[in-house]
Amino acid sequence: MHPLLINAVIVNHNTSAFTELALRSILARHRADLPLRLTVLDNASEDDTAPLRACAAAYGVPVVQTGFDTHTANNSHGEVLTRFVRDNPHCSHYLLLDTDICFMEDDTVDTMLQELDAAKDAFAVCARFSWDGATEISVEEQQKNPDLYETRMHPGCALIRNTPLFRRVVDAVGMSAIYYMWPHGGEYLDTCKLMTRVMGTHGLRHVLSERMVLHFFSVSYEWDHEALRLESLYM
């Protein structure tokens, strides 16, 4: 069992202004002694990264190149997260953060730690999402896209226990999006959805936090396939 240490990661993909906001918000909204180790992973972003780099340097947060760029054929987010988990085994928890989230409430991560500790059959706890910074996304919109909460651990703001089982699943399955090819059709599984299903075969689930974060959505990638655009409102 590792002592409390949270390895947090944000992936920048031509979203430097959003990443800077996410970085500033998490540091502004949490106590200075929270054992949080932040890393910004960058996909050779071609936007103006200077303000982000200056902010990160001021806070002592490393900005590390992933080896990917912004022109990959498919979304590299899941693979970047997979490699991060593989390369950083020495922590008690992982905190996955989308580049386009902003913390709105103080001590959100502390609350999520308590919630995860209380849910013994959970491998992760996810923050709720707001579009307007004041209210949660409506139930109607949640029902339109069950990938927000119900069917997968959304990596927008997810706190995960670092267990040997979780790392084995990530090592074997990964967290990338996949497309199942059934005999009479197909099924798209977004980032972390297959991993969530595999964790479920071990009796482990993800739970929702009482805390909420602002999520802008769809700032990193555009849908490449019209059929997928019609299936979901969000990336």
pLDDT digit string (tens) for 125-162? 999 999 999 999 999 999 999 999 999 999 999 999 99
pLDDT of 226 reads 46
pLDDT of 1 reads 66
Predicted TM-score (pTM) of this structure: 0.92
- Give the 3-state secondary structure of residue 141: helix
pLDDT of 220 reads 76
More confident residue, 229 or 94: 94
Q: Residues of the chain with pLDDT > 90: what percent?
A: 88
pLDDT of 2 reads 80
**Burial classification of residue 146, based on how many CB atoms lie within 10 Å of its CB (0-12 exposed, 13-18 middle, 19 or more buried):** exposed
pLDDT of 219 reads 82
Q: Residues of the chain with pLDDT > 70: what percent?
A: 93
Residues 6+ apart with CB under 8 A from 57: none
Q: What is the DSSP letter of 135?
A: S
Ramachandran sector of residue 184 (left: φ over 0; alpha: ψ -120 to 50; beta: rest): alpha
